[in-house]
């Protein structure tokens, strides 16, 4: 029996809609932007020689070396400059400007950033690297992008993209769920107590998660549902060739899983990335149904007329059509229509004419485009408010007066461009080879490949952060949570809280959930990993950093006795382990001393 003839959709399982790729590009870029922006405040701490991991210490680490452009210079200004470049590239990727180049450079700099400080690696960071990697091989900007709007060669009219890279991207997203489910082998998963255990960790849950922790029976049912969803939903997606509703059911199940993680757990970018990655599975019939529904409410095409002597005007019209998602709108020179030309010259305005031959000018022209937009149409009731008519027209008049100046600033950044939209044989062969490595990496996670093959695969995957170790809450969720307290002794004998200098003395009480005793998820991850005995060297480096930060504001000048008395002479790191409360009892807290060190490391190198 020829399955492809009986079930033609089987051959479409690994097709990707260009609109889905555009949605992934925009959301992936937005998460990358947010992550980079949130790291600016502590950039020098994490990635410069003045921070917790100087370059010399990283290079001296016996673990296999992984390349990092951030090792080229250890000064804070250099790290800030690289982050600025990354932010600009992430913005270009999000908006779809020179997308392939921006995506490739974003991937390289992201991997470089992760390799500069391995203590900050997490599942979210790994997933970001994988998604950026596969985006290099795909037409991410074929819809809803600056590239698509300004390309000298229009993007392909066909909405379906089929290539080895597309198949590998789809498999990559599914592997995340399948590996996670298959590696969750702990007894709490088989007894359906995993979610109860996870929600009992006070400093890893949101307020809603903490409230849900009391509903043990409900959490047990949810634990079962999570396990089933992680295994069954990928299979439903793979079997969507039998019926398109199967894929939709799989997408909804995984989306609900990620939404639950967002509202109940503090996992940083991971659940957002995992949620947005599901966009690649959204099929064309879903987009078409939404488009048809929108067109029924807004029938008839629009025609936008611009001054053909103004390249800036044409560029802005093309960009608005692309980002307001108005593919049916016609963009024409006003000089080609007697009516449009008369209106343009009489009112010094662009002209929009709808299917009923109603003409709109200035601000009103923008509002009618907004009304027809399936993306921003919800803003139309506000934009059409009569109180905004006069300010809107004044804004338009200002742009007209400053058109030459604005064009001089913007047009060099928005030139017409030549984009190669085809798959590219070499590019797809590279994607296929990388896909084989990816699948091999997933198999090595389960020990399914000979050790000799794993020894070859792992270094290559690790260097690029493409290793397939999706071990979130595997084999079991953590049994304890906690927070770090760093006690310091000053020269005058007073004991101080090094992490919270505003406190009179170190506090060993559980911090409020909103505090976490750490400024953000990166700090919490870093503090948690200091517990690992393998990171004893990092404890010494962190202690040295804290001593230097504190004593940097306290002079050692003998004539300044007050500041000398405030200098730290020793430091002690204590991790407060909090065990979940058992039935009819309070949670138990234990202290684990991680490190002691004098602030003169030559005199006191420190001890665990």
Question: Which of 198-202, 295-299, 592-596 has the highest mean predicted lDDT (pLDDT)?
Answer: 592-596
**Could you tell me which residue, 18 or 406, shows the higher pLDDT?**
18
- Are the C-beta atoms of residues 255 and 275 closer than 8 Å to each other? yes
**CB burial string 18-42: b at 16+ within 10 A, e below:** bbbbbbbbbbbbbbbbebbeebeeb
Task: Please give the structure tokens belonging to residue 488.
Answer: 């310091």
Instruction: State the pLDDT at residue 3.
Output: 45
Instruction: State the pLDDT at residue 2.
Output: 45
- Are the C-beta atoms of residues 194 and 298 closer than 8 Å to each other? no
Instruction: State the pLDDT at residue 585.
Output: 59
pLDDT exceeds cutoff 90 at 343:
yes
- Are the C-beta atoms of residues 598 and 604 closer than 8 Å to each other? yes
pTM of the model: 0.92
Domains within the chain, CATH numbers bracketed: 298-413 (3.40.30), 481-598 (no CATH)
* E strands present in 121-254: 160-161
Instruction: State the pLDDT at residue 241.
Output: 72
pLDDT exceeds cutoff 70 at 6:
no
End-to-end CA distance of the chain: 68
Instruction: State the pLDDT at residue 508.
Output: 87
Q: How confident is the model at residue 216 (pLDDT cuts 50, 70, 90)?
A: confident
Instruction: State the pLDDT at residue 255.
Output: 96
Provide the mean pLDDT of the chain: 88
**Rounded CA separation 207/512 (Å):** 11
pLDDT exceeds cutoff 60 at 238:
yes
**Rounded CA separation 221/322 (Å):** 45
- Are the C-beta atoms of residues 214 and 224 closer than 8 Å to each other? no
**Rounded CA separation 69/110 (Å):** 10
553 Cβ neighbours under 8 A, 6+ residues apart = none
pLDDT digits (tens, 9 = 90+) for 19-57: 999 999 999 999 999 999 999 999 999 999 999 999 999
pLDDT digits (tens, 9 = 90+) for 455-471: 888 888 888 888 888 88
**Rounded CA separation 325/286 (Å):** 16
């Amino acid at each position: 029996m020829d399955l492809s003839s009986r079930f033609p959709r089987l051959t479409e399982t690994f097709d990707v809609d260009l609109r889905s790729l555009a949605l992934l590009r925009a959301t992936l870029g937005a998460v990358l932007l947010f992550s980079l922006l949130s790291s600016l405040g502590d950039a020098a701490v994490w990635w410069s020689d003045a921070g917790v991991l100087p370059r010399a210490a990283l290079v001296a680490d016996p673990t296999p070396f992984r390349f990092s452009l951030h090792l080229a210079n250890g000064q804070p200004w250099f790290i800030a400059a690289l982050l600025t470049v990354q932010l600009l590239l992430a913005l270009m990727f999000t908006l779809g400007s020179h997308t392939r180049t921006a995506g490739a450079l974003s991937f390289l700099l992201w991997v470089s950033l992760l390799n500069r400080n391995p203590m900050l690696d997490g599942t979210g960071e790994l997933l970001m690297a994988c998604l950026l990697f596969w985006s290099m091989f795909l037409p991410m900007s074929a819809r809803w992008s600056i590239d698509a709007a300004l390309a000298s060669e229009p993007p392909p009219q066909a909405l379906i993209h089929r290539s080895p890279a597309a198949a590998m991207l789809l498999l990559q997203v599914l592997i995340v769920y399948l590996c996670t489910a298959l590696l969750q082998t702990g007894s709490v998963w088989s007894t359906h107590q995993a979610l109860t255990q996870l929600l009992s960790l006070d400093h890893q849950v949101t307020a809603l998660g903490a409230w849900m922790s009391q509903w043990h029976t409900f959490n047990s049912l949810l634990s079962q549902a999570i396990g089933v969803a992680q295994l069954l939903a990928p299979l439903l997606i793979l079997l969507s060739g039998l019926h398109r509703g199967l894929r939709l059911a799989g997408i909804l199940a995984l989306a609900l899983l990620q939404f639950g993680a967002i509202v109940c757990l503090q996992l940083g970018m991971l659940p957002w990335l995992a949620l947005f990655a599901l966009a690649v599975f959204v099929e064309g019939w879903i987009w078409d149904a939404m488009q048809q529904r929108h067109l029924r409410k807004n029938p008839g095409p629009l025609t936008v007329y611009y001054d053909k002597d103004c390249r800036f005007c044409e560029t802005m019209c093309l960009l608005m059509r692309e980002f307001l998602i108005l593919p049916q709108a016609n963009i024409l020179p006003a000089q080609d229509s007697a009516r449009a030309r008369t209106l343009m010259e009489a009112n010094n305005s662009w002209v929009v004419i709808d299917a009923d031959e109603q003409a709109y000018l200035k601000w009103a022209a923008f509002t009618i485009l907004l009304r027809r937009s399936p993306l921003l149409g919800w803003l139309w009731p506000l934009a059409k408010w009569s109180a905004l008519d006069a300010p809107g027209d004044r804004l338009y008049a200002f742009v007209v007066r400053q058109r030459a100046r604005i064009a001089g600033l913007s047009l060099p950044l928005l030139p017409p461009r030549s984009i190669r939209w085809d798959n590219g044989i070499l590019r797809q062969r590279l994607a296929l080879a990388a896909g084989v490595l990816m699948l091999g990496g997933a198999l090595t996670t389960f020990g399914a490949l000979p050790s000799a093959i794993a020894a070859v695969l792992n270094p290559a995957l690790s260097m690029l952060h493409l290793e397939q170790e999706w071990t979130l809450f595997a084999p079991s969720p953590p049994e304890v949570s906690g927070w770090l307290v760093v006690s310091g002794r000053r020269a005058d004998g007073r004991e101080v809280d090094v992490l919270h200098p505003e406190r009179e003395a170190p506090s060993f009480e559980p911090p409020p959930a909103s505090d976490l005793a750490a400024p953000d998820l990166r700090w919490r991850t870093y503090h948690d990993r200091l517990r690992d005995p393998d990171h004893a060297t990092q404890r010494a480096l962190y202690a040295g950093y804290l001593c230097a930060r504190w004593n940097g504001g306290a002079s050692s000048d003998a004539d300044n006795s007050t500041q000398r008395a405030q200098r730290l002479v020793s430091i002690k790191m204590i991790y407060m382990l909090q065990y979940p409360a058992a039935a009819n009892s309070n949670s138990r807290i234990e202290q684990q001393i991680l490190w002691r060190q004098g602030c003169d490391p030559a005199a006191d190198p420190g001890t665990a």
